[in-house]
């Protein structure tokens, strides 16, 4: 225990040094999400050595681990106990860490049915821009003091502080899992998904690649089998969903920039240039396109959504509306008044 305490103190010391010298810090785990956000400079502060599961009680459905812990280690411990991270966070690299998972806030195919990373964060330990190691939230759902600050760390891309420890709510793995492929066009698929969304079907993933609709059914044996009979289609290897989550499908190959378009579920078909893959039952569209960022943003905004660029080689974040920017600035001012943590990674003026 003494050794890992020293590592969190080392991180704290590095932050205090940066504050004294007013040096920007670039927070890094395995760097597997480097293609997201804006490129930034600064001295690297690395969390990878601050690793290991601190506590895990399967009966309580709570796991606490240090920020540098590899996701594969966490997933292996959960698998052994018949449990899982319900939001299926993408690794996008061999050494993906727990801290990076929370900071990026990315969720996999189960997201619309199970919730996001943010929904499963119970508590955190964070080194703030005041040079203090603070605990927010706790290890149980009913401990709400500071709970929202912990949830704000999800998707903050390190601009609010250095995560050193995270407590997560976990869930049992479903008793049965079955995947299907149903050949149909995109228009038909979008209509079917909208209709099925109103019914008690045990769908936990839905994707369309241009030729067919792919579905995952999860739950009790009875409900999965009756849905299987009702929906038809051919059985599919469930590894498909891991390949989708990790962007290993053929769709993701090729030189065109990759964009993630997040839209309301009922957005229908999007008039976007390039190749499209529908994910999250319609709420997330992957786009491989050489079209200008402005054109893609305009079309997404028209559908009530927004866009994120994956290694597009330009500023991929759309400008924030003035009201939202004011909240972001106020929060940054509270937790990182000197602006040393990942300045500009999320938005140019943060």
Residue-wise pLDDT for 297-344, tens only, equals 898 999 999 899 886 655 555 677 788 889 889 989 999 999 999 998
> Same domain for 161 and 266?
no
Q: For the chain, how many structural domains are there in total?
A: 2
Q: What is the pLDDT of residue 31?
A: 92
For residues 81 and 350, the model is more confident at 81
- Distance between CA atoms of residues 103 and 153, nearest Å: 6
Each residue's pLDDT tens digit, 14-66: 999 999 999 999 999 999 998 888 888 899 999 999 999 999 999 999 999 99
Kindly report, residue by residue over 252-275, the tens digit of the pLDDT. Answer: 999 999 999 999 877 877 888 899
Task: Give the pair of three-digit tokens for residue 96.
Answer: 């993906």
Question: What is the per-residue pLDDT for 316?
Answer: 54
Quick one: 37 and 167 in the same domain? yes
Could you tell me if 112 and 96 lie in one domain? Answer: yes
Q: Compute CA distances 197 → 115, 193, 225, 265, whole Å.
A: 15, 6, 18, 9
Residue 4 has pLDDT above 80, yes or no: no
For the chain, percent of residues with pLDDT exceeding 70 = 94
User: Which domain covers residue 160, as residue numbers?
Assistant: 2-172+327-335
Say yes or no: 11 and 139 in one domain: yes
- Which CATH number fits the domain that encloses residue 130? 3.30.465.10
pLDDT at 296 over 50: yes
pLDDT band at 10 (very low <50, low <70, confident <90, very high): very high
Q: Does pLDDT of 224 surpass 50?
A: yes
Is 162 in the same domain as 18?
yes
Both 286 and 254 in one domain: the answer is yes
Q: Determine which of 97-111, 138-152, 157-171 has the lowest per-residue pLDDT on average.
A: 138-152
On whether residue 349 sits in a domain, the answer given is no
Note whether 139 and 183 are same-domain residues: no
Q: Are residues 127 and 187 in the same domain?
A: no
Could you tell me if 166 and 182 lie in one domain? no
Kindly tell me the burial class for residue 84, based on how many C-beta atoms sit within 10 Å of its own C-beta (0-12, 13-18, 19 or more): middle
Residues 121 and 157 grouped into a single domain = yes
């Amino acid at each position: 225990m003494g050794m890992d305490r020293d590592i969190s103190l080392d991180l704290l010391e590095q932050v205090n040094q940066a504050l004294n010298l007013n040096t920007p810090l670039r927070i890094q785990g395995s760097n597997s999400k480097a293609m997201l956000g804006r490129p930034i400079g600064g001295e690297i502060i690395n969390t990878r050595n601050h690793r290991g599961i601190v506590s895990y009680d399967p009966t309580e459905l709570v796991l606490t681990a240090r920020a540098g812990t590899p996701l594969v280690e966490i997933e292996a411990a959960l698998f052994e106990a018949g449990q899982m991270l319900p939001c299926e966070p993408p690794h996008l690299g061999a050494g993906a860490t727990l801290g990076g998972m929370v900071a990026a806030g990315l969720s996999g195919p189960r997201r619309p049915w199970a919730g996001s990373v943010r929904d499963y964060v119970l508590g955190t330990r964070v080194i703030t821009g005041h040079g203090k190691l603070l605990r927010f939230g706790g290890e149980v759902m009913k401990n709400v003091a500071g709970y929202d600050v912990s949830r704000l760390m999800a998707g903050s891309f390190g601009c609010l502080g250095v995560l050193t420890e995270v407590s997560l709510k976990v869930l049992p793995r479903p008793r049965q899992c079955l995947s299907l492929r149903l050949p149909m066009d995109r228009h038909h698929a979008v209509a079917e998904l909208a209709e099925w969304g109103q019914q008690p079907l045990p769908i936990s993933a839905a994707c369309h690649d241009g030729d067919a609709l792919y579905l995952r059914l999860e739950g009790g044996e009875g409900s999965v089998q009756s849905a299987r009979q009702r929906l038809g289609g051919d059985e599919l290897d469930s590894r498909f969903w891991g390949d989708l989550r990790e962007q290993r499908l053929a769709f993701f190959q090729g030189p065109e920039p990759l964009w993630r378009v997040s839209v309301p579920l009922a957005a229908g078909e999007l008039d976007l240039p390039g190749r499209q893959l529908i994910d999250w039952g319609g709420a997330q569209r992957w786009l491989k396109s050489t079209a200008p960022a402005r054109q893609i943003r305009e079309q997404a905004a028209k559908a009530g959504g927004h866009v994120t660029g994956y290694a597009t080689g330009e500023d991929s974040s759309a400008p924030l509306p003035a009201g939202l920017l004011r909240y972001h600035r106020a929060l940054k001012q509270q937790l990182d008044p000197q602006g040393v943590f990942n300045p500009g990674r999320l938005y140019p003026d943060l």
